[in-house]
Structure formats: C-alpha cells, structure tokens
Amino acid sequence: MSHETDRSDLRADCGRCAGLCCVALAFSASADFPVDKAAGDACGHLAADFRCGVHPELRERGYRGCTVYDCFGAGQKVSRVTFEGADWRRDPAAARRMFAVLPVMRQLHEVLWYLTEALTLEPARPLYGELRRELEETERLTRTTDAEALLALDPAARRAAVNPLLLRTSELVRAQVRGRKKNHRGADLFGARLKGADLRGADLRGAYLIAADLRGADLRLADLIGADLRDADLRGADLTGSIFLTQSQTNAARGDAATRLPDPLSRPGHWRTPDGPATVAVRGRGRPPRHRPRR
C-alpha cells in the first residue's frame, strides 16, 4: 500500500492520544449518553493514563455515543503533532486550545479519509492528479504546530473545495453499474422500508436513513458520504464496494455476521448474528437531532 492510500493514521489510536474526545466534547443525557457533560469537563470515567475506565462496558452503561464517535485519527494528531505531546492536565492554557483545535482537526481528517479512499478507486484514475494535490494540501494544513493557524481555518471551506472532486469520483465509480441508478441524495428516508431493495450505484449522499429497514438490500457501489445511518438495519445487506462510508456510520447502524462491508471497515463488536436480537432502536418520538455536516 502506498503512502497516499494508507489510512492507518486516519484511524483513532487512543494509546497515542491524551483522551481529548473525553474532555473536549459536550454531550447531553439521552439515548446515547446517561448523563450531561459540558465541553472542557473531563468524563468521570477518564483514567489517569487517558484511557477509558469502562471501555468494555460502554454500551451497557449507556454510553452508546462513545462507541459511535470516530475522530479519524485527529486526536493523536493534535496530541502528538500540533501540541507536541503537551499534557493538558498540567497546562490549562494549552488545554483550552487543544480542545478547540480537536473539532477542526477532525473535519480535516475526515476530508483526508475521503481523498485517500478516492485514490484507491480504479475508475477515478483520471482524477488521481487532482486528488493527490488536494490530499497534499489538506495534509499540509494538519501538520502545522501553529494552533492559532488551525483555529483560523474554515474546515467547511476546505470541504467545499474538495467536494466537487469527490462528486466526480462518485460518478465515475457508480457508472460501473449499468442502467438508471437511484438518486436519493439528501432524501428523507427515516424509517423507510427498503428491505431487499436494489440500491446498486445509488446516490445516497446526505440521505436520512435513520432506522431504515435495509435488511438484505444491495448497496454495492452506492455513494454513502454523509448518509445518516443511525439505527439503520443493515442485517444481511451487501455494501461491497460502496464508497465514502466511514466507521462511525457503520458503528451507528445495526448489522450482523451476514452484512458485507467494504474494505477497510471492521464489523462493530455490538452487531449480532443473523438470528440474534437487534441492537438499539431509536428512542422517543420524532426524528433524532442531526449531528453531521451538510453534503
């Protein structure tokens, strides 16, 4: 695997991070968290070594949101590169800046994830030159040790600059599927009954698929960038070759041993076998709040 298509640095490595997500981010008591926590306050389960003291029991204790969150490797980048190993517990001034930089870095790393994936897609070969240039520019921004420069960045502008290129990549990849493809970009498919649906090569960018029934659906070569898959039922679904799907989206969905995932995503530990019980249903009435960027 070449350096430009290696995504190992775009995966969370908690052993190289200072527990930033356990402090910087806020959460409210809900179906995803059992308590309220303000941004900047350390989670009560954060240990002295910056590890989670209840990691194996997060879901059982009500911290479902923690098992879904993925920083795309931004935590260790901020800890080890931007702040060169600084300890926020001993340096309150650095702490405030570290916590502020984390969400900026996460957005940049998410862009890196998509660009890196695009460079692994053979149909996108005509775009490799442009993809490499955008990858190098985004990576350059993440390598700075100037926290103020990072805080002055507009991650949305970086995403907007890259998005047309990712769209062209998507079109080239999905063109491999013959015939007319489904266009559900940004569609409201909350709770949709799509069991066994043929969604090969579909455009599902930014679609609301919360609690949708996608059991046995064919999602090969579908574009899933930004799709909201919270509690979507993917048991037995085929996502082989689907593009721009992230581990966070996968973790938020329900699946089983028969669900086929694209490389390099891993099967979440909370997924059940085909005959086992479902995981967690959407609680309460109405749609859960949207916590994802626009596409």
Distances (CA, A) of 107 to 72, 82, 234: 9, 15, 26
Q: What's the pLDDT score for residue 178? A: 94
Q: Which residues pair with 193 in a beta bridge?
A: 213
Q: What's the pLDDT score for residue 280? A: 38
Q: What's the pLDDT score for residue 253? A: 97
Six-digit token string for 179 = 């015939």
Q: What's the pLDDT score for residue 60? A: 93
Q: Which helix (H) or strand (E) holds 76?
A: helix 74-77
pLDDT per residue, tens digit, the chain (295 aa), is 676 778 889 999 998 999 999 999 999 999 999 999 999 999 999 999 999 999 999 999 999 999 999 999 999 999 999 999 888 999 888 899 999 999 999 999 999 999 999 999 999 999 999 999 999 999 999 999 999 999 999 999 999 999 999 999 999 999 999 999 999 999 999 999 999 999 999 999 999 999 999 999 999 999 999 999 999 999 999 999 999 999 999 999 999 999 999 988 999 988 964 444 444 333 333 444 443 443 4
Six-digit token string for 280 = 């967690």
Q: Which residues pair with 52 in a beta bridge?
A: 46
CB 69 within 8 A of CB 248: yes
In order of their start, the domains of the chain are 3-25+69-174 (no CATH), 180-295 (2.160.20.80)
pTM of the model: 0.89
